[in-house]
Amino acid sequence: MRKQGYRIPLRIREAMDSCPGGLCFSMPDGRPILVNRQMNRVAALLTGHTVLDAEALWSELRAISAAGKQAGAEAPWAGASGAGDADILDFSLPDGGVWQLRRDVLRDGGQTYIQIGASDVTELAGLSRALSESNRRLQALQQRQRALLANIVQINREKELVSVKMRVHDELGQCLLATTQALRGGTISRDSASLAKGWDDAIRSLSNIPLEDAADASQEAELTAVAGMIGCRILFTGERPAGSGTRRLLYAAVREALTNAVRHAGADVLTVSIGRDDAGYRVEISDNGHAEPGPIREGDGLRDLRRRLEQEGAEMEIAYRNGVVLLLRLPFGAKQTGGGTND
């Protein structure tokens, strides 16, 4: 029965050998029934031997695939790589071809067979590689684009500054020229008033330039000053966040708390306590106002603030402890740009 079942007519074997793909049929225990020439060639290139046991071959191919992955081969096409536990494995052969091997279990009546097929996917792999390369280039271009956008306003300010410096340079040059001519022509006493005014203007313009480069007054100072305009003092305690993105989130929360405390609770002191642990900063913002006890309804301002905080992985909780208290957890490295980002 066994020999009868395995006998393959010569013409079928020849037809299988002329097939461009690799084919292997075996019993479930791995004993080969039919292996065509292409499959033996691919197996020999990958394992060093032809197909002796189909199941042993598949285990070997899986091991090669896993080793290729561990060696850091670029999936899916370079070196031995594959689809992990799935029954499809992809390989680059030493001859430059890329082949995909697939294992299927076939059932015919009560009998089970194992089929391993090998397909030449070299062209597909080439296209896939080209697509990956295009995607990589596109991502790099998009990164450059984003970097450009991030800096464009600063670049514009720098250009404006350069233009002012050039103007001041021209003004000083004109003053020097006019003064030299007045000295040479003996008209210095007659023109002294206009010359003095010219020099005053040029020197005033000049004195503005270094100040433009210096760090602007701190955002905290400005926030404290505008709070003073509406009769509220802000008391900060604790270490301020080091990162500018995290500081912006903090000040956005302080602004919202300040507005609500003055508008709805008549507060005149806002207290901002900042602490830190391994995960980030813990901030508590409270006031001395007279907010009504009870559930706190989040209006547009608090909702916008919550969205802005959560976008950066920060958290906000609102509590009532003799007044409304904002409890924040801010990450160390928030990248938050201005509130206008979403405009």
Partner 1 sequence: MTNILLVEDSRISRETIASRIACSPDYLLLASIENAANAEIACMNGKIGLILMDVCTADDESGLRAAASIKKHLPGIKIIIMTSMPEHSFLRKAQACGCDGFWYKEYGDAELLDVCGRVMAGEPVWPDDTPAIAVGGAVSRDFTERELAVLRELALGRRYDEIADDLGITSNTVKYHIKNLLQKTGYRSTLQLVVDAVDKKLILPKY
The first and second tokens of residue 145, run together, are 């684009």
Residues from 93 through 152 that contact partner 1 (CB under 8 A): 141-142, 144-146, 148-149, 152
C-beta of 84 vs 231, nearer to partner 1: 231
**Distance from C-alpha of 280 to C-alpha of 328, rounded to nearest angstrom:** 10
C-beta of 142 vs 237, nearer to partner 1: 142
Q: For 29-98, what is the HEC assignment?
A: CCCEEEECHHHHHHHHHHHCCCCCCHHHHHHHHHHHHHHHHHCCCCCCCCCEEECCCCCEEEEECCCCCE
**Distance from C-alpha of 240 to C-alpha of 94, rounded to nearest angstrom:** 60
Report the nearest approach of partner 1 to the CB of residue 229 (Å): 5
Q: Are strands 111-120 and 22-26 parallel, antiparallel or unpaired?
A: antiparallel
Helix (H) or strand (E) holding 298: none
**Distance from C-alpha of 218 to C-alpha of 294, rounded to nearest angstrom:** 36
* Pure H helices in 186-241: 188-213, 219-229
* Side-chain half-sphere exposure of 160, counting CA atoms within 13 A: 8
**Binding marks (x or -) toward partner 1, 286..305, rule CB under 8 A?**
--------------xx----
Q: Which of 54, 98, 195, 252 binds partner 1 (CB under 8 A)?
A: 252
217 is a contact residue toward partner 1 (CB under 8 A): yes
Report the nearest approach of partner 1 to the CB of residue 5 (Å): 54
Task: Choose the stretch contacting partner 1; rule: CB under 8 A; options: 6-14, 73-81, 181-189, 209-217.
Answer: 209-217
Give the three-state DSSP class for 256. Answer: helix
- Rounded to 10 degrees, the C-alpha dihedral 334/338/342/343 comes to 180
Q: Which of 44, 105, 188, 226 binds partner 1 (CB under 8 A)?
A: 226
Q: Which of 77, 114, 118, 248 binds partner 1 (CB under 8 A)?
A: 248
Task: Choose the stretch contacting partner 1; rule: CB under 8 A; options: 110-118, 188-196, 282-290, 334-342.
Answer: 334-342
Report the nearest approach of partner 1 to the CB of residue 77 (Å): 24
215 is a contact residue toward partner 1 (CB under 8 A): no
Residues that bind partner 1 (CB under 8 A): 141-142, 144-146, 148-149, 152-153, 156-157, 160-161, 164, 208, 211-212, 216-217, 219, 222-223, 225-227, 229-231, 244, 248, 251-252, 255, 258-259, 262-263, 300-301, 337-341, 343
